[in-house]
């Protein structure tokens, strides 16, 4: 009995005509023998879940750098919340949940230590520039498995590359993740900001809460229901015009009141100077890079600047701090 074929037959019979069927994937760059249990997108989901870059997300900043508290989101908990929201929408619309989850779990693999402040400074100092969505694709295509990559399907890589606001995913599953990412961070960043006492729920302008809801739970419920209602049996992922506009305006309000607030940004300059110091050090001491990164230059012909950027981008917050302390902070002398 071939379980994969049974599952693929189920998809063909029960999923939406607009869903991306596992049996019709555009495939992988390196062809592989099909699994007898798992369809192709499920295999991709599993590969992402078990890769090193995914595990490092638990120690990477979402918004608040090194918060003193166990309940602030990290890049990993953000990723899991995106996956949960995206799967709820995909299941309701009879889209491919495996593809949706794979894209969601992989969409932020390329994020730097210290959140978007780390991404900003790497983009400034790296000659070829840096963006986390491109780096996420580079992680799964090149950096994982000692330079071999994960050999994911084209649909998953397309969804990861295009999850940003200006992206245009080729599948509806990718478009679900693109919206779910925004829904997740808008709501959990509000929750974290309230926890950090930046503002109170009652201080969120009524023009937003009257449309979206007066709590994280209400807002999630409202946004998700709106997408499902307007996307059902449609060849697109849609929100009602009023809902989409309100969500966009609330996001802009968060930029002013949270992302640019003095509390989460208090340590941002220090973090960025730390990244600059690490980058300069490894550019001058390339032999101190881990062997797998040196091999990328020697065997693949990758530029030193790119590889140093790869190494730093892959660091967790805590590892970057440890490396900085080891390299730049004097140690006490003992007999």
> Hey, is 74 helix, strand or coil?
strand
Q: CB of 227 within 8 A of CB of 167?
A: no
pLDDT in tens, 53-107: 999 999 998 876 665 567 788 899 999 999 999 999 999 999 999 999 999 999 9
The token pair at 242 is: 């009023």
Q: CB of 167 within 8 A of CB of 133?
A: yes
pTM of the model as a whole: 0.95
Tell me how far apart the alpha carbons of residues 216 and 197 are, in angstroms, rounded to a whole number: 16
pLDDT in tens, 218-235: 999 999 999 999 999 999
**Greater pLDDT, 332 or 17:** 17
For CA atoms 315, 317, 320, 326, the dihedral sign is: negative
- pLDDT (0 to 100) of residue 258: 84
* Stretch 200-204: mean pLDDT: 94
Q: CB of 234 within 8 A of CB of 94?
A: no
Q: CB of 106 within 8 A of CB of 136?
A: yes
Q: Is the pLDDT of residue 257 over 90?
A: no
**Greater pLDDT, 147 or 288:** 288
* Stretch 30-35: mean pLDDT: 96
Q: CB of 192 within 8 A of CB of 64?
A: yes
- pLDDT (0 to 100) of residue 69: 62
Q: Is the pLDDT of residue 238 over 70?
A: yes
* Stretch 261-271: mean pLDDT: 77
The token pair at 125 is: 């100092």
- pLDDT (0 to 100) of residue 260: 76
Q: Within a 10 A sphere around the Cβ of 134, how many other Cβ atoms? A: 15
């Amino acid at each position: 009995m071939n379980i994969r074929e049974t599952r693929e037959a189920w998809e063909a019979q029960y999923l939406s005509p607009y869903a991306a069927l596992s049996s019709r994937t555009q495939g992988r760059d390196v062809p592989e023998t099909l699994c007898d249990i798992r369809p192709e997108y499920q295999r991709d989901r599993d590969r992402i879940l078990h890769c090193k870059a995914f595990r490092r997300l638990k120690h990477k900043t979402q918004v608040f750098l090194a918060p003193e508290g166990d309940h602030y989101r990290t890049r990993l908990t953000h990723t899991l919340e995106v996956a949960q929201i995206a799967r709820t929408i995909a299941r309701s619309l009879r889209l491919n949940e495996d593809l949706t989850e794979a894209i969601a779990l992989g969409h932020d693999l390329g994020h730097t230590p210290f959140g978007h402040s780390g991404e900003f400074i790497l983009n400034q100092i790296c000659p070829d520039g840096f963006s986390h969505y491109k780096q996420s694709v580079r992680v799964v295509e090149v950096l994982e498995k000692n330079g071999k990559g994960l050999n994911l399907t084209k649909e998953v890589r397309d969804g990861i590359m295009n999850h940003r606001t200006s992206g245009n995913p080729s599948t509806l599953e990718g478009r679900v993740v693109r919206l779910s990412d925004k829904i997740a961070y808008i709501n959990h960043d509000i929750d974290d900001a309230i926890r950090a006492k930046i503002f109170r729920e009652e201080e969120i302008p009524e023009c937003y809460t009257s449309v979206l809801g007066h709590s994280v739970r209400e807002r999630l419920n409202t946004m998700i229901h709106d997408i499902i209602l307007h996307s059902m049996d449609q060849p697109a992922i849609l929100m009602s015009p009023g809902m989409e506009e309100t969500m966009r305006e609330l996001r802009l309000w968060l930029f002013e009141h949270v992302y640019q607030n003095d509390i989460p940004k208090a340590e941002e300059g220090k973090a960025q100077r730390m990244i600059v110091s690490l980058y300069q050090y490894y550019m001058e001491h390339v032999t101190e890079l881990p062997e797998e990164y040196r091999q990328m230059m020697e065997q693949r012909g990758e530029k030193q600047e790119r590889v140093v950027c790869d190494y730093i981008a892959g660091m967790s917050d805590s590892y970057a701090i440890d490396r900085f302390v080891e390299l730049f902070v004097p140690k006490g002398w003992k007999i």
